[in-house]
Homo-oligomer: A and B are copies of this chain.
Amino acid sequence: MIAVRRNKISGQASEPTLRRLPGYLFYLKKMREEGMLNISAPTIGKELKCDPTQVVKDLSVTGIKGKPKVGYNVYELCQVIENYLGFNKPNEAFLIGAGNLGSALMAYQESQTLGLKIIAAFDVDKDKVGTQIGGIHVLEYGKIFSLADRLKVKIAILTTPNNVAQWVAEELVDCGIKAIWNFTLTNLDLPGEIIIENTSMSAFAAVLLRRLNDSIIK
């Protein structure tokens, strides 16, 4: 996280902006398929329920500027967002922990654009090792060390039980992993240069439930 704040090179997009960009991309690709050539910020804003000023600001992080009275070229806009997010590159990732959530993500990435490609999964469970989920092989956990080195994989998806997450994450860093997508509830303590994105399902459930309870009390 610190890495992003220190970096002055590329637009310094805020996290909310980054989170919105895949939504823009999804909509714009649909428009491109429908043959639309140009699109204005108010049109995008209307579709995505977002203020046009916010749309212009969000899209500006990619370096693109709309033309007065014409707007953005749809084709160009799709391309710059994809480039900016790195969705155009094969972002290869390992997945560690082929349990329910891990299996789900493997099956899910087959059908949806996650922006990254899980090329192998690892588990310690002998029953899972050797199987395939969503076309991805589940390998013995111990093999990660040689494979990470050989394949130069930089991204890991952590879907282990909470109680081994810290230990596994440290081993991942030793393997050369630079970014961890953490689905566990564990607050990982890792060197500052490692990128960590926390996506604990129960954290989102907590926000939803509390808001619902607040609205019922009201």
Contact = CB atoms under 8 A, between A and B. Distances in A.
Interface string A99-117: 1110111011011111110
Contacts of A50: 187
Given A4-B211, A211-B179, A187 B154 contact: no
A53 interface: no
A205 B181 contact: yes
Contacts of A164: none
Interface stretch (A13-21, A65-73, A137-145, A167-175): A13-21
Q: Tell me how many chains of this kind the complex includes.
A: 2
Interface of A: 1, 3-4, 6-7, 9-10, 13, 15, 18-23, 26, 30, 47-50, 84-87, 91, 99-101, 103-105, 107-108, 110-116, 134, 154-155, 162-163, 178-179, 181, 185-189, 193, 195, 197, 199-218
